[in-house]
Homo-oligomer: A and B are copies of this chain.
Amino acid sequence: MGEKQKIVIIGGVAAGPKAAARARRRNPDAEIIMLERGEMTSYAGCGMPFFVSGMIQDYNQLFNTAYGVKRDAQYFGREKGVKLYTRTEAKAIDRDKKEVKAVNLETGEEMVFPYDQLVLATGASPVELPIEGKELKGVYKLNHPTDALKIKEALDTGEIERAVVIGAGLIGLEGADALFNKMVDVTIVELQEQVLPGMLDPDMAEKLQQHMREEDVDLCLGDKVLRIEGDENGNVKGVVTEKRGFIECQMVIMSVGVRPNVELAREAGLEIGKTGAIVVNDSMQTTDPYIYACGDCVENTHLVSGEKVYTPMATYANRQGRVVGDNLTGGNSTFKGVLGTGVAELFEMNVARTGLGEVQAKKLGYNVITALHSAFDRTHYHPAHGLMFIKVIADRDSKRILGAQAIGKAEVAKRIDVIATAITFGAKVDDLINIDLGYAPPFSAPIDPVVHTANFISNKAAGLATGISAKEFKEKVERGEDMVLLDVRTPEQFAPKHFKDDRVMQVTLGDLRERINEIPRDKEIITICAMGSRAYEAARILQGAGFKDVKILEGGYNAWPYELEFEKK
């Protein structure tokens, strides 16, 4: 024995290098070997859209440390004490002999790496749509820096006027945004009826869609790509979808998700979960205690639902890599699970979510209560204030916070991170109301949007307020139901923008007490304002005066994602 501990790590992008570096810092003597089948290691995949858009100008920035050193084999050897083999693909794991068989993809040389502990950080690969034309010139993915480089080069020819992005997930939208910033007309085709189906509830997505349409992004939702068509030179000339038909374009980006790379694990007899990713315990061990796995190839436990989920994210890869590095070297660290917290900047809107969405929570059987609120991210009198829409999802029975989503040209990431933190500790609605968040006009309001939205849930749960969502409201109005749409904004606010419908009645909040007898008591009343607060105030006045059926349009006009005119049914 007396021999050095041998650690072999398969995969050199995010989780692998992290595990390697952490193990090295904890054990100066171990032999640490990292195998990467690609040429590039430790690259910033999340930076690719910013390189395509031109915001990041130097391609090398995707590979360098903050202090300008390229993370290549020399870097890993000299700074991290890790022996890196690039272009070296692991082909099989012999768990009895505890060795990995690999091949050098350049020379064809076969190699065997014995290990005491093995780490699988094999990542994920883009899903390939089985459609005609995907091999045409001008059809790209956006999963690897070389993809970004090729897209950038094509854009720089100046010949790309229109592009089609297939898939409206995060990467698809980030890619579309990058093209949009390069003045390319973009059509996004998505099989589901909304953008970001894995991230946002339909109502929040609707708001983003409204904004994207206003920015002239062409959305084909609930549509299916049938094939990609090319010209005589093999260049893409368009995409054909089921509903829209032919969409002319000179570029296609396919981003319909990723799948975990689990072949090696499966062939070695390690357990693969229902999600299709490698099963690990909270020490990040696979079903073989000598083999760890981390990053985009493993499944995670959702901290709210307890369910297994596949959530490949850079931040999990890094944090899991550290846990593995600890446990490889005698530590006892755990990675308990995920909330699926995500944030993105898309078409100058910030979008974020954590925990369960409303739809997701209902599917899981929760007795869901939600509140959606329009709010400024700072005091309204601070000139930099921006508008957000924030929705909090809770369990009506236990009052536990299940999730939250926010969107706006405003600081939403903080609010979602705060709620993610609260959920981690099992926070209830009242806990959220009581958190001592920092306030100053450039950063927040005396009552932060998080607290305000929690207050709204609390009011709803206590029977002080009844809300109606934009979608329900629209459907009711379009069904022709007899009701009063009571707009309580000022006449100055009402004049330029209001619902175009006969049932609208304008009574400024300040006049409501004295004009209350003008409002029919036998009808359903929907109170409406700009943000939602005055509508609540009005509803309380009406309810206090004995009105029985009063609902607040949640989020008010600012959160309204549709046309102001209704379709008559």
Q: Which residues of A contact B (CB under 8 A)?
A: 14, 21, 24-29, 44, 46-47, 50, 55-56, 61-62, 64-69, 74-75, 78-81, 303, 313-319, 322, 334-336, 338-345, 350, 352, 354, 376, 379-383, 411, 413-414, 416-418, 420-422, 424-427, 431, 433-444, 446-448, 451, 455, 464, 489-490, 492-493, 509-511, 513-514, 529-531, 534, 536-537, 540-541, 543-545
Contact = CB atoms under 8 A, between A and B. Distances in A.
A25 B490 contact: no
Contact of A510 (B56, B69, B417): B69
A227 B275 CA distance: 74
A514 B50 CA distance: 37
A44 B543 CA distance: 30
A149 B64 CA distance: 52
A314 B334 CA distance: 40
**How many copies of the chain does the oligomer comprise?**
2
A537 B28 contact: no
A46 B510 contact: no
A315 B447 contact: yes
A509 B436 contact: no
A292 B441 CA distance: 28
Contacts of A80: 537
Given A322-B455, A383-B55, A383-B56, A438 B464 contact: no
A376 B66 contact: yes
A541 B442 contact: no
Nearest to A383: B55
Nearest first, the 7 A-B pairs at minimum CB distance are A28-B544, A343-B438, A425-B425, A414-B414, A78-B510, A66-B380, A61-B381
16 contacts: A27-B544, A28-B543, A28-B544, A46-B439, A47-B379, A50-B381, A55-B382, A61-B381, A67-B529, A78-B509, A303-B436, A319-B433, A342-B438, A342-B439, A343-B443, A425-B425
A68 B437 CA distance: 27
B447 A318 contact: yes
B50 A441 contact: yes
B341 A437 contact: yes
A510 B315 contact: no
B446 A345 contact: no
Nearest to A322: B455
A371 to B, nearest CB: 16
B451 A438 contact: no
A252 to B, nearest CB: 24
A345 B61 contact: no
Given A69-B490, A345-B440, A530-B67, A379 B418 contact: no
A344 B513 CA distance: 40
A357 to B, nearest CB: 15
A417 B420 contact: no
Contact of A438 (B74, B352, B514): B352
A178 B381 CA distance: 16
A439 B339 CA distance: 12
A436 B67 contact: no
A314 B416 contact: no
Report which residue of A335, A434, A441 has the largest number of chain B beta carbons within 10 angstroms of its beta carbon.
A441
Nearest to A311: B436
Given A46-B379, A464-B25, A420 B440 contact: no
B340 A436 contact: yes
Contacts of A336: 434
Nearest to A414: B414
A417 B418 contact: yes
Report which residue of A50, A56, A67 has the largest number of chain B beta carbons within 10 angstroms of its beta carbon.
A67
